[in-house]
Structure 1
Amino acid sequence: MKQFFSVALAAVLITSCVSQNKMNTLTEQEKQEGWELLFDGKTTKGWHTFGKKSISGWTVKDGVLHNSGIGSDSGGDIATDEVYDSFELYLEWKATNESNSGIFYLADEKFSDVIYETGPEYQLLDDKGWPTELSPSQYSGANYDMNPPVGAEVKPLDEFNVTRIIVDGPHVEHWLNGKKVVEYELWSPQWYQDKANSKWAEFPNYGMAKKGRIGLQDHGGLTMFRNIKIRRL
Structure 2
Amino acid sequence: MRKPLLLAVLAVTFACKEKPKEKVEEVTEEVIEVVEEPEWSVLFDGTSFDGWHFYNGGEVTEPWVLEDGAMVLYTPDPRPEGANYNLVTDTEYTDFVLTLEWNIAEGGNSGFFWGVKEDEKFGQPYITGPEIQVLDNERHPDAKNGEDRLAGSLYDIVPPSENSVNPAGEWNSVELMINHKTNEGHVIQNGVKIVEFPVNSPEWDELVAKSKFADWEDFAKFTTGKIGVQDHGDKVAFRNIKIKEL
Q: TM-score per shorter chain, which class?
A: 0.7 to 0.9
Q: Which residue of 2 is the match for residue 123 of structure 1?
A: 133
Instruction: Give the drift of 1:40.
Output: 2.3
CA distance in structure 1 between the partners assigned to 2:201 and 2:161 by the alignment: 20
Question: Which residues in structure 2 correspond to 1:98-113 (within 5 Å)?
Answer: 98-110=107-119, 112-113=122-123
TM-score by length of 1: 0.80
- The question of whether the paired residues in 1 share the 8 Å contact of 2:99 and 2:174 is answered with yes
Please say if 1:223 is aligned against 2:233: no
Q: Give SS of 2:208's match.
A: helix
Which residue does the alignment assign to 1:232?
Answer: 245
CA RMSD after TM alignment:
2.0
Alignment of 1:52-131 (within 5 A): 52-56=57-61, 57-69=63-75, 73-74=82-83, 76-110=85-119, 112-131=122-141
**TM-score under structure 2 length normalisation:** 0.76
**Which runs of 5 or more residues in structure 1 are unaligned?**
1-31
* 1:134-173 mapped onto 2 (5 Å cutoff): 134-169=145-180, 170-173=183-186
Letter in 1 for 2:134: L
Cα distance between partner residues in 1 of 2:83 and 2:106: 19
Worse-matched range after superposition: 185-194 or 38-47: 185-194
**Structure 2 residue identity aligned to 1:67:** L
Aligned counterparts of 2:39 and 2:105: Cα–Cα separation in 1 = 32
> 1:54 Cα shift?
3.2
- Summarize deviations over 1:144-188 as a string: whole Å, max 9, x none: 111111113211223210000001114211111111111111233
Q: How does 1:153-232 map to 2 (within 5 A)?
A: 153-169=164-180, 170-232=183-245
Q: State the Cα distance separating 1:128 from its structure 2 match.
A: 1.3
Moved over 4 A (4+): 70-75
The answer to whether the Cα contact below 8 Å between 2:99 and 2:241 also exists between their aligned partners in 1 is yes
CA contact (8 A) 1:152 1:179 kept: no
How many Å apart are 1:61 and its aligned residue? 1.0
- Pairwise CA distance, 1:197: 2.4
Secondary structure of 2:56 counterpart: coil
- Equivalenced residue count is 202
Counterpart Cα distance in 2 of 1:139 and 1:209 = 25
**Contact 1:119–1:206, Cα closer than 8 Å, also in 2:** yes
Instruction: Find out whether 1:44 has 2:55 as its counterpart.
Output: no
- Which of the pair has the greater relative contact order for Cα pairs under 8 Å at 6+ separation? 1
